[in-house]
Amino acid sequence: MKAPIVTVPIHKVADGKMAPAQDWVAAEEPLQIRLSGRDLAITMRTPGHDRELAAGFLFSEGILRSPNQIASINPDERGAIEVKLAQGVDIDTAARNFYVTSSCGVCGKASIEALHAAGCASLSAALAYIDPATVLSLPAKLHLGQRIFEHTGGLHAAGLFGADGELLELREDVGRHNAVDKLVGAAFLGNRLPLSECILMLSGRVSFELVQKAVMAGIPVIAAVGAPSSLAVETALRFGMTLVGFLRDGRFNIYAGQARLER
Amino acid sequence: MKAPIVTVPIHKVADGKMAPAQDWVAAEEPLQIRLSGRDLAITMRTPGHDRELAAGFLFSEGILRSPNQIASINPDERGAIEVKLAQGVDIDTAARNFYVTSSCGVCGKASIEALHAAGCASLSAALAYIDPATVLSLPAKLHLGQRIFEHTGGLHAAGLFGADGELLELREDVGRHNAVDKLVGAAFLGNRLPLSECILMLSGRVSFELVQKAVMAGIPVIAAVGAPSSLAVETALRFGMTLVGFLRDGRFNIYAGQARLER
């Protein structure tokens, strides 16, 4: 079984100094759920308890009603989880609503390759230098820009900043992916893509999905208040993105692309 | 335009007393994204900037490449957002991976109705009383049960507790929906559903999706460290569930079903 946490080399920035260190990040890998030999759904999950995850998903979505409907749940040779139905059990999944994801369901590496296949190029040539002091200034500016968060504590914020630390645009949403889609959509409709001179600041954690959206939009730097996942780090490394996490209390961790923060 | 935050009547519990109050919660409503007359995807979002959200989603997913491919983006008469392509533009979305959701894409009310249609019954008869002191004891027990969270800060936890506050099962994941699916899946496979005598404790915020999963599993009480969304509150009220939020520092808010906490 894959480990639920992964050790990664990072750089810590505190008190005006950058030093190499190690950190643990939560493992994130796609899991393809197959039902009766058919690809049904993909979820980005932390490895472990995959049989229970597949069973719980199928029950929660109203697809299965009783454990007796299941003949077996096992990983297949590609790493997908295969749910086989008991003899005589017939399930209709054709009439359901679906939510699109561009992730590949087999492994993280394949999810990253899918981004290459979609035409995404390395960001390493974009935005040569960012002042660490600029990065440190972002959380307060994001917070100042938020009108809703302070009332409810229930909204995620995504802010688009210039390399000089100026707030260009801010969106909030119950879903962090929606907040980023709103930012990117505004730039897309305004014909301002790629956002090669911008920093994306996030109020929460960083999953693969958010890094993927930034790569698509050509954003070379993500700075987040929360922790990144393993696949978020791998994707940032692969595409030459700078990924900053735990940006709070005057310090931060660099999970990828620390060269942009060095003179 | 619908408001991004909504006022709801709550009960605050602090210093051993329960008192009525008001709170703001983040609005959460499904948005159906339609492309060329076809239902493409549903996202649970905070209303506002829906055109940008649809455009950003279609770009991030690699479906659209240029704003010139779009003729118009407008809400249709049902409240869905309809993206019309410019003349001569042809998009192939057939070969994509999909993620299932049981939400209805038109409005929150319809999403709740869909749960009724799936056969979910009211939970109001389950678990007549819970001691507020038991609720207050849950966060420390959840934290104690977590081995991973303290290392990374990147994993969500979901814990299943008995009505007496005993931790029965704990799951962690980068996705909070996965953590709940893992819990529910274990009970499903073990033929222990419905979980009518249990409390679901969550380390983060509460979206509609999580309440939906609890309703399906027959769990009458959710207690969370974070804030619930508007649709989470509405769904809990509708199904006779007790919904506790901001459970931390020896106090909490009750968003639905406060009768269970009163003698």
Angle between helices B208-216 and B176-189 (to 10 degrees): 0
Q: pLDDT tens, A213-250?
A: 999 999 999 999 999 999 999 999 999 999 999 999 99
C-beta separation of A93 from B89 below 8 A: no
Q: CB within 8 A of A231, min separation 6: which ones?
A: A27, A28, A29, A44, A108, A111, A112, A207, A208, A211
pLDDT-above-70 percentage for chain A = 92
Q: Is the pLDDT of residue B70 over 90?
A: yes
- Mean pLDDT confidence for A87-91: 88
Q: Which chain B positions have a beta carbon within 8 Å of A119's beta carbon?
A: 62
- Decide: B32 and B81 in contact? Cβ < 8 Å: yes
Residue B198: active-site member:
no
One domain for residues B88 and B147? no
For residues B228 and B225, give the distance between their C-alpha atoms in angstroms, rounded to a whole number.
10
DSSP state letter for A7 = E
**How far is Cα A123 from Cα A127, in angstroms, rounded to an integer?**
9
Chain A closest-CA separation from residue B175 CA (Å):
6
pLDDT given at position A42 = 84
Residues of chain B with C-beta less than 8 angstroms from the C-beta of A55: 185-186, 188-189
Residue A106 above 80 pLDDT? no
Helix intervals (H) in A95-196: 108-117, 132-145, 149-152, 176-189
3-state SS record for B175-193: CHHHHHHHHHHHHHHCCCC
pLDDT per residue over A108-158, tens digit each?
777 888 888 888 889 999 999 999 999 999 999 999 888 765 666 778 999
The per-residue pLDDT for range A165-180, each reduced to its tens digit, is 999 999 999 999 999 9
- B242 lies in some domain: yes
pLDDT of residue B17: 94
Taking the CA of residue B36 and the nearest CA in chain A, the distance in Å comes to 16
Q: Is B22 exposed, middle or buried (0-12, 13-18, 19+ CB in 10 A)?
A: exposed
CB contact under 8 A, A99 and B155: no
- Positions of A annotated as catalytic residues are 104
Judged by average pLDDT, the poorest of A97-101, A127-131, B37-41 is: A97-101
Residue of A nearest to B116 (CA): A62
CATH number of the domain that residue A86 is part of: 3.10.20.10
Q: What is the DSSP letter of A6?
A: E
The pLDDT mean for chain B works out to: 90
Condensed to tens digits (0 to 9), the pLDDT of residues B152-206 reads 677 899 999 999 999 999 999 999 999 999 999 999 999 999 999 999 999 999 9
Same domain, yes or no, for A40 and A157?
no
pLDDT band at B21 (very low <50, low <70, confident <90, very high): very high
Residue with tokens 């199928």: A58
- In the predicted model, is pLDDT for residue B72 greater than 70? yes
Q: How does pLDDT run across B81-130, given as a tens digit for each residue? A: 999 999 999 887 654 544 444 455 557 777 888 888 878 889 999 999 99
Q: Which two tokens stand for residue A232?
A: 């978020």
Say yes or no: A109 and A142 in one domain. no
CB contact under 8 A, A100 and B98: yes
Does pLDDT of A208 surpass 90?
Answer: yes
Cβ distance of B178 and A46 shorter than 8 Å: yes
Which residues of chain A have a CB within 8 Å of the CB of B186? Answer: 49, 52, 55-56
**Nearest CB to B184 within list A60, A171, A229:** A60
Provide the CATH number for the domain around residue B209: 3.40.140.10
**A123 in a domain, yes or no?**
no
Specify the pLDDT at position B149.
Answer: 60
Q: Which candidate, A182, A180, A189, A185, places its Cα nearest to that of A212? A: A180
pLDDT of residue A104: 55
Of A117, A144, A164, the domain-final residue: A117
Nearest to B105 among A60, A93, A97 (CB): A97
Of A97, A151, A216, the CB nearest to B59: A216
The residue-averaged pLDDT of A26-43 equals 88
In a domain, A1, yes or no: no
pTM for the full model?
A: 0.91
Is residue A93 pLDDT above 80, yes or no? no
Task: Tell me the backbone φ, ψ of residue A17, rounded to 5 degrees.
Answer: -120, 145
Q: Does residue A153 belong to any structural domain of this protein?
A: yes
Asked if B52 lies within 8 A of A189 by C-beta distance, the reply is: yes
Question: ipTM strictly over 0.95?
Answer: no
Residue in A96, A182, A186 closest to B100 by CB: A96
| Beta-carbon contacts of residue B244 (< 8 Å; ≥ 6 apart) | B135, B221, B222, B223, B224, B252, B253, B254, B255
- The closest alpha carbon to B228, from B26, B46, B5, B43, belongs to B26
Contact: A59, B188; criterion CB under 8 Å = yes
A15 part of a folded domain: no
Measured in degrees and rounded to the nearest 5, phi and psi for residue A101 equal -135, 145
| Domain final position from A86, A117, A148 | A117
**Is A245 found in the same domain as A153?**
yes
Give the end of a domain, one of A117, A141, A165.
Answer: A117
Mutant choice from B160, B170, B173, B225 vs A, greatest count of A C-beta within 10 A? B173
First CA to last CA across chain A, in angstroms?
42
Same domain, yes or no, for B199 and B173?
yes
Q: What is the span of the domain harbouring residue A194?
A: 132-261
Give the CA distances from residue B154 to residues A190, B148, B175, B192, in Å, rounded to whole numbers and listed in that order: 34, 9, 10, 30
Q: Number of folded domains in chain B?
A: 2
How far away is chain A from the Cα of B221, in angstroms, using its nearest Cα?
17
Same structural domain for residues B106 and B140?
A: no
Q: Are residues A235 and A139 in the same domain?
A: yes
Of all residues in chain A, the percent with pLDDT exceeding 90 is: 73
What is the Cα B159 distance to its own chain's centre? Answer: 16
Q: For residue A94, what pLDDT band results from cuts at 50, 70 and 90? A: low
